[in-house]
Structure 1
């Protein structure tokens, strides 16, 4: 007999068919009603046990978390909340679950407790919904780029260059930690290491993607990136996934168009294809909001927030205009911002970005033309000599979700910027070659995938939208 998923059964019109289904017990009531889930949907299917024809030993083994196989008849349900149920003819226990030891009991658990049990938290409604949405978003990313003529490019994870110039990178080495080989000057001799030079885990696949864009036209990377930043905020991870398109012959305006169209497309995809999971998370946030003081409650529900992004044109504002708005706004004048805005050149914080989106413009915002000294070396210098063709996309509730730029294609300007920042030009000889051989304007951006998942699911902590978060002092599982 063909196995069938619970998602298929719940949408089935073939009543009175013999079926076999496997899953995990969520609850077992009155020795008669099993709520069974197999991960294919948020919803359980009710299985009605004929306890008079089921031996007592089997009934005792039907506990929350147990894996079982059910054979029976799919029938129209007489109970509320579901259209079908299974009239059970046979139960086989596939894997016992000791109720005295199993931590994921059918009750409310704190998110912190579930992080400590990250290997089992996926069995809760909240995390199964989040991870199904994460999977759907991942598919939507690849779907969008494939349908728009992009080629997927796998950037190296081990690299000898620092794309961001921040120096917060994890080192990759097989040298003896206690007694590494030394040079005559007493420094570690990386020529004796596996790669013959100092190497790290990548913070971005952008530089390599640029080289491929200059031959294939439109490429994108979607892979793991790493940052050794000692940050324990709800918005940072040490290991995270980045989506990075690079497009030859695109200027900054084209780049902003691409970012807006891409974001709207992937969010639209999940609003159409993940309605049950989004409805559950929407209700979860509404219940959570009721426990907060009135001034801390969200102005929009989760689904309203997603539609807010899909339906509104992103407002494009220069950094200079944004600074003027922030400098003169009430929270700044009344010293309500944690970081006060005083001078042009200030690096904006999340509180400033959210004010622009949520209070001032009331729509997603793209800031552009940032001061050169707060942005990376590869961004194209404007004619004013003090700003670069950078862009950040700002969202409600989260602040910056996308960072990108038109890249500096002029060899002499790029070389000068590298020199000014004391970056070793020899390490980037291959990157500079693209400016020697058929250079052209090109642009791209990076979108932190977990930030996108966090926005779409409404989860307050980024550690709850990745299966096994890697953060300072934490590499469990």
Structure 2
């Protein structure tokens, strides 16, 4: 009964046709089918030019169409317009123009989905602020198509790096009862607000209370307060103490009311954890990782990187080449403070030993003091023997500032219990984390990297809201 399922075949994309060293000339004479969206349409007296893009590359396929082509009536009737999706079949020929090596001589065209004249992304350039209000359509622009492809390449290279180096990927939970950062800026996950109708219509007195007038969390879904996670680190540590080297790569959340170009409420984090490792191992891993993914993008996203180099940040390719090839400078926190104190520059935030370095301090160190050389500064987490500092590091890179933060974790039970007391964190909530120090504790270290900052660093995109497909920020949860 029935037919067998057909063989899955990869579609021929524009990137496949034009992406080789001869930019498609080796395919001249072949009949091909292109499916994509119309970027521009030029109707001349004897010929019509369609620019079609399928998202596989920055390049469009120029389709040249005569009035005798099957389906030409769709041009005359106005069905084929900017934004419309079409199916085009034709023969590849050498291009008469200078912008491309090959073009498609159209034999047949079919409109798949027509586009209303109100389509907001026409040929004229529009601001990235405007495009944030059209996040469902902005991937069709050159800039956001290129950002999406580079982001994809960075994600692929991330998994490739860790898998090639013997790490196991761990899916850390999105809902948690722990606050890894101790920041208190978490989104609460609850079913106490009635959801049988619109949440906006829920009366306050419908939320169950205790006799003392407090929220009765025992009636909530998990029986206690639960939150969206700010980090997968603590969960990664549990698996590192069994599998040795692991990493997480998933979404994290901060309820920080910050409306800047550097902050998101939802963002992705890469968090490796290395067992039987110290801070030096951690820094070596972070350096090798960053150089690997940067080199992957430079080697595999040449067209998109040329676009960023021309239109977004002149010099971005040279900057990435420096990171991929130069040795990283290792600088202690004390030396970093000394260097900033000697700087002939007035900072908005005054510098003194013990202060947390701000973005302006970090960028001065990488861009001016070390002239674009990446740098690692050490300052917190596992307590050092001096009693004042801790075994931790931040990796600073030009333009972005802090890209990676990591540390050797405190593996000594008594030290960790004292630290929880100092921060007034409940030891009962972290009973399982303390157990890792009771049962076969080992020195271990790890780091966290905000993936959107890495995308910013690789592309030169200034606003972090343009480095993620659908940005979430205070007052903004559209799409």
Q: TM-score, normalised by structure 1?
A: 0.92
Task: Please say if residues 151 and 220 of structure 1, whose CA atoms lie closer than 8 Å, have aligned partners that are also in contact.
Answer: yes
Q: Give the alignment of 1:322-337 within 5 angstroms.
A: 322-331=336-345, 336-337=346-347
What SS does the corresponding residue of 2:213 show, helix, strand or coil? coil
Give the aligned partner of residue 212 of structure 1: 239
Following superposition, the deviation at residue 222 of structure 1 comes to 0.1
- Stretch deviating more after TM superposition (110-119 or 5-14): 5-14
The alpha carbon displacement at 1:348 in A equals 0.7
- For the 8 Å contact 2:29–2:93, the answer to whether it is kept is yes
1:50 counterpart residue number: 66
Q: Which residue of 2 aligns with 1:9?
A: 17
Could you report, residue by residue, the CA deviation over 1:413-464 in whole angstroms, capped at 9, with x for unpaired residues? 0000101111000000000000000011000000000000011010000000
Deviation string 1:302-324 (CA, Å, 9 cap, x unpaired) is 10111121111111111011111
| Runs of at least 5 residues in structure 2 that lack an aligned partner in the other structure | 1-8, 194-201
Question: Deviation digits for residues 270-327 of structure 1, max 9, x if unmatched?
Answer: 10000000001110035xxxxxxxxxxxxx6110111121111111111011111111
2:49 corresponding residue in structure 1:
33
Question: 1:3–1:21: 8 Å Cα contact kept in structure 2?
Answer: no
Against the structure 1 CA distance between its residues 307 and 2, is the aligned structure 2 distance closer, same or farther, given a 3 Å change threshold? closer
Distance in 2, Cα, partners of 1:145 & 1:310:
17
Superimposed CA distance per residue, residues 235-290 of structure 1 (whole angstroms, 9 cap, x where no aligned partner): 1000000000001011001100000000000010010000000001110035xxxx
2:323 aligned with 1:309 = yes
In 1, the alpha carbon distance for the partners of 2:31 and 2:340 equals 65
What RMSD in Å do the two structures reach over aligned CA positions?
1.4
1:211 positional shift:
0.7
Q: Secondary structure at 2:107's aligned position in 1?
A: strand
For residue 57 of structure 1, report the CA deviation from its aligned partner.
4.1
CA pair 407-79 structure 1, distance change in 2 beyond 3 A: same
* Aligned residue runs from structure 1 range 198-347, under 5 A: 198-285=225-312, 301-331=315-345, 336-341=346-351, 343-347=352-356
3-state SS of paired residue (2:331): strand
Q: CA deviation at 1:4?
A: 2.1
| 8 Å CA contact 2:58, 2:145 repeated in 1 | yes
Contact kept? 1:3, 1:19, Cα under 8 Å: no
Shift of 1:19: 1.5
Q: 1:84 aligns with which of 77, 92, 102?
A: 102
Deviation beyond 6 Å, 4+ runs, structure 1? none
- Pair 1:151 & 2:168 matched: yes
Q: TM-score, normalised by structure 2?
A: 0.92
Which residue number corresponds to residue 195 of structure 1?
Answer: 222
Give the Cα separation in 1 of the matches to 2:10 and 2:107: 16
Label 1:2 to 1:241 Cα distance change in 2 as closer, same or farther (>3 A).
closer
Q: CA deviation at 1:2?
A: 9.0
Residue 58 of structure 1: how far off its partner (Å):
3.6
Counterpart-to-counterpart distance in 1, 2:327 and 2:260: 30
Residue aligned with 2:286, SS:
helix
Unaligned runs of 5+ in 1: 287-299, 371-378
- 1:277, 1:267 → 2: CA distance? 14
1:469 aligned to which of 463, 468, 471: 471
Q: Is the 8 A contact 2:167 2:246 kept in 1?
A: yes
> Retained in 1: the 8 A contact 2:332–2:377?
yes
Of residues 376, 385, 400, the one that matches 1:366 is: 376
Whether 2:354 is the aligned partner of 1:354: answer no
Q: Secondary structure at the match of 1:142?
A: helix
Aligned residues: 450
- Cα distance, 1:184 vs structure 2: 2.6
CA distance in 2, matches of 1:394, 1:121: 31
Aligned residue for 2:424, secondary structure, equals coil
The SS at the match of 1:130 is helix
Q: 1:102 aligns with which of 119, 122, 130?
A: 119
Is the contact between residue 47 and residue 88 of structure 1 (CA under 8 Å) also seen in structure 2? yes
Q: Is the 8 A contact 2:72 2:109 kept in 1?
A: no
The answer to whether the 8 A contact 1:285-1:301 is kept is no
Distance 1:19 1:265 in 2: 36
- Partners of 1:387 and 1:240 lie apart in 2 by 29
1:113 aligns with 2:126: no
Q: Determine the C-alpha separation between the residues in 1 that align with 2:12 and 2:227.
A: 46
